[in-house]
């Protein structure tokens, strides 16, 4: 390996001591802190470049280095250097390695460079492509969230089936405070619920939320304007937090939680590798205990624990929690049918009939169904649990449909048989005497009720008309 060059500050000092002070190479080496051979080499290079002291004022350090170390002249038959840009593009393709590209390079250039030289110079070239930006995290400003790459086995005690639990990880920017919990999936309900419980644990809400680009958070991945899931967006509006998803394939956008995921996997999940859990509650209890221990551990480079920094820096700057936690709701798009109803989970809900064939947005919770048209709520119904039924409000019906429904209800009420009451004398005697059992009472008992009619709707036998008053005339089915 070639020796490292001296800084231009030391190089100028060597030239000053030689040409201005006239010192020997040994005395120059002792004064600057280099070897006598190196001092003589720099003096010889300056003499070959025609330099003396004082140096020209306009001669910069870069120009001085080019004068002292000119690029070597191209030798006839020199080995060609690989095209590093083309090699970098090829490495982005699946299953392509540096070893394969070096073999192809040697196949084109049999007298080319060796593998070690090839790898070293490529890494030196690629190291200058993507500089890392140092981020500054203000107190209580940003919360980073993601799922760990590893899952945990949980045994279902009822059937003995093994399920894989996902581990949600969150980290605050300023204090690096970590919170983690396990859930069954990375779906929308578990993703939103994990954020709600995280905010409750922190006792406040940050101003920004930097999340991963998973399906539950982002519906349309974009470098500049990603499309957020409506439920996740509603969560942000409820808590007053801004969501800034990380760019696709840019893990450095959420480097804080990437480090937190690594810490959780090494300090929590690795310690639980030999434990067997039989419920999600049991697993979360073990994770919570280790998270407390992790946050109480003193960080060597800061001299304080994550919890101390959280209590002193992040917690006072968090926004207050709303009065009520966010109620999970799902959003979906639906279209109104010809019967001015929309179908949600097998049940049909009415909307104003003027919205026939219109596309609506439905917001469903455990208790209610809300329907929106162009951002305006047009209908609200209690959530029905059954399938195949329908819920219709009269205000949503056309006037002709409403009139027909009222007429049908009135007809059904008029056609319903009247409820016949026993004579007053029989009621009074029955009140004084005990009602006999139907199985044991004689058929001629005066207090016996008329026999129940069949379910087919046949009317009971008509009572004999009284001699004192004429029988009432039945109402006509139509008025």
Identify whether 298 is part of a domain.
yes
DSSP 134-200: PP---TTTEEEEEE-S--EEEE-TTT--EEEEEEEEEEETTT--EEEEEES-SSHHHHHHHHHHHHH
Same domain, 151 and 272: yes
**pLDDT attached to residue 109:** 86
H helix and E strand count, the chain: 14, 17
**Domain end point (choices 396, 421, 436):** 396
Same domain, 361 and 251: no
Identify whether 357 is part of a domain.
yes
Query: Model-level pTM?
Result: 0.61
Contact assessment for residue 186 and residue 197, using Cβ atoms and an 8 Å cutoff: no
Half-sphere exposure of 325 (CA within 13 A, CB side): 13
Same domain, 226 and 359: no
The count of other CB atoms within 10 Å of the CB of residue 146 is: 23
Same domain, 225 and 263: yes
For range 267-288, the mean pLDDT: 93
**pLDDT attached to residue 424:** 62
Of 280, 261, 259, 278, the closest CA to residue 182 belongs to: 280
Q: How far apart are the C-alpha atoms of 226 and 43, rounded to whole Å?
A: 60
Strands (DSSP E) contained in 264-406 are 298-299, 304-305, 330-335, 341-344, 347-350, 359-364, 368-373, 376-382, 390-391
- The dihedrals phi and psi of 343, each to the nearest 5 degrees, come to -100, 125
Contact assessment for residue 378 and residue 352, using Cβ atoms and an 8 Å cutoff: yes
Same domain, 304 and 201: yes
Would you give the end-to-end CA distance of the chain in angstroms?
112
Same domain, 194 and 262: yes
CA distances from 424 to 57, 112, 250, 429, 433 (A): 129, 120, 88, 9, 14
Helix (H) or strand (E) run with residue 321 in it = none
According to the 3-state scheme, what is the secondary structure of 68-96? Answer: HCCCCCCCCCCCCCCCHHHHHHHHCCCCC
Identify whether 438 is part of a domain.
no
Residue 258 has pLDDT above 50, yes or no: yes
Cα 10 → chain centroid: 54
Q: What is the domain-level CATH number for residue 16?
A: 1.10.10
**pLDDT attached to residue 77:** 56
Same domain, 240 and 269: yes
Same domain, 313 and 351: no
* CB burial string 46-63: b at 16+ within 10 A, e below: beeeebeeebeeeeeeee
How does pLDDT run across 175-187, given as a tens digit for each residue? 999 999 999 999 9
Identify whether 146 is part of a domain.
yes
Residue 240 domain boundaries = 142-317
The count of other CB atoms within 10 Å of the CB of residue 258 is: 18
Please tell me the total count of domains within the chain: 4
Provide, for the chain, the percentages of residues in helix, strand and coil under a 3-state DSSP scheme, each rounded to the nearest 5: 35, 15, 45
Same domain, 163 and 302: yes
Identify whether 121 is part of a domain.
yes
Q: How far apart are the C-alpha atoms of 23 and 17, rounded to whole Å?
A: 6
Q: What is the domain-level CATH number for residue 196?
A: 3.30.420.10
Owner of token pair 């060059």? 5
Contact assessment for residue 79 and residue 112, using Cβ atoms and an 8 Å cutoff: yes
Mean pLDDT rounded to a whole number for the chain: 83
Q: Contacts by 285-290 with C-beta closer than 8 Å and gap 24+?
A: 287/167, 287/180, 287/181, 287/182, 288/181
Positive or negative: CA dihedral 458, 461, 463, 464: positive
How does pLDDT run across 188-247, given as a tens digit for each residue? 999 999 999 999 999 999 999 999 888 888 887 776 677 888 899 999 999 999 998 988
Q: How far apart are the C-alpha atoms of 375 and 332, rounded to whole Å?
A: 13
How does pLDDT run across 362-396, given as a tens digit for each residue? 999 888 999 999 989 999 999 988 888 899 999 99
Cα 394 → chain centroid: 41
**Domain end point (choices 291, 317, 343):** 317
Same domain, 286 and 381: no
Same domain, 238 and 263: yes
**pLDDT attached to residue 159:** 79
Identify whether 2 is part of a domain.
no
Contact assessment for residue 243 and residue 227, using Cβ atoms and an 8 Å cutoff: no
Which of 130-134, 287-291, 433-437 has the lowest average pLDDT?
433-437
Identify whether 468 is part of a domain.
no
Identify whether 37 is part of a domain.
yes
Q: How far apart are the C-alpha atoms of 330 and 348, rounded to whole Å?
A: 17
Same domain, 153 and 300: yes
Higher pLDDT, 225 or 161: 161
């Amino acid at each position: 390996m070639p020796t490292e060059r001296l800084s231009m500050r030391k190089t100028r000092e060597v030239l000053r001591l030689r040409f201005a002070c006239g010192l020997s190479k040994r005395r120059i080496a002792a004064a600057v802190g280099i070897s006598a051979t190196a001092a003589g080499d720099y003096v010889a290079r300056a003499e070959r470049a025609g330099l003396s002291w004082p140096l020209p004022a306009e001669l910069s350090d870069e120009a001085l280095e080019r004068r002292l170390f000119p690029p070597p002249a191209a030798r006839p038959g020199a080995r060609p250097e690989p095209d590093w840009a083309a090699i970098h593009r090829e490495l982005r393709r699946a299953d392509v390695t540096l070893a394969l590209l070096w073999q192809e390079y040697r196949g084109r250039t049999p007298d080319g460079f060796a593998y070690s030289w090839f790898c070293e110079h490529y890494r030196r070239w690629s190291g200058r492509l993507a500089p890392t930006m140092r981020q500054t995290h203000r107190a209580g400003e940003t919360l980073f969230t993601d799922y760990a790459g590893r899952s945990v086995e949980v045994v279902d005690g009822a059937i003995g089936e093994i399920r894989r639990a996902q581990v949600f990880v969150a980290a605050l920017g300023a204090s690096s405070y970590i919170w983690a919990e396990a859930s069954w999936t990375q779906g929308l309900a578990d993703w939103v619920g994990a954020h709600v419980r995280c905010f409750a644990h922190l006792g406040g809400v940050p101003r920004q939320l930097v999340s991963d680009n998973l399906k539950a958070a982002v519906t349309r991945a974009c470098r500049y304007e990603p499309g957020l899931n409506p439920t996740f967006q509603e969560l942000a509006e409820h808590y007053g937090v801004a969501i800034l998803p990380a760019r696709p394939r840019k893990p450095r956008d959420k480097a804080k939680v990437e480090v937190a995921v690594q810490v959780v996997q090494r300090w929590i999940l690795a310690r639980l590798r030999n434990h067997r859990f039989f419920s999600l509650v049991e697993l979360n209890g073990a994770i919570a205990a280790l998270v407390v221990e992790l946050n109480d551990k003193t960080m060597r480079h800061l001299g304080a624990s994550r919890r101390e920094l959280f209590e002193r820096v992040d917690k006072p700057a968090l926004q207050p929690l709303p009065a009520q936690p966010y109620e999970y709701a799902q959003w979906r798009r639906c279209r109104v049918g010809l019967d001015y109803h929309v179908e949600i989970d097998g049940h049909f809900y009415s909307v104003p009939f003027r919205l026939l064939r219109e596309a609506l947005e439905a917001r469903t919770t455990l208790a209610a169904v809300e329907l929106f048209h162009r951002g305006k709520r047009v209908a609200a119904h209690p959530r029905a649990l059954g399938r195949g039924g329908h819920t219709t409000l009269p205000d949503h019906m056309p006037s002709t449909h409403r009139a027909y429904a009222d007429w049908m209800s009135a007809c059904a009420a008029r056609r319903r048989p009247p409820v016949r009451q026993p004579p007053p004398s029989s009621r009074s005697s029955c009140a004084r005497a005990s009602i006999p059992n139907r199985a044991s009472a004689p058929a001629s008992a005066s207090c016996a009720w008329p026999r129940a009619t069949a379910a087919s709707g046949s009317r009971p036998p008509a009572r004999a008309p009284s001699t004192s008053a004429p029988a009432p005339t039945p109402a006509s089915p139509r008025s």
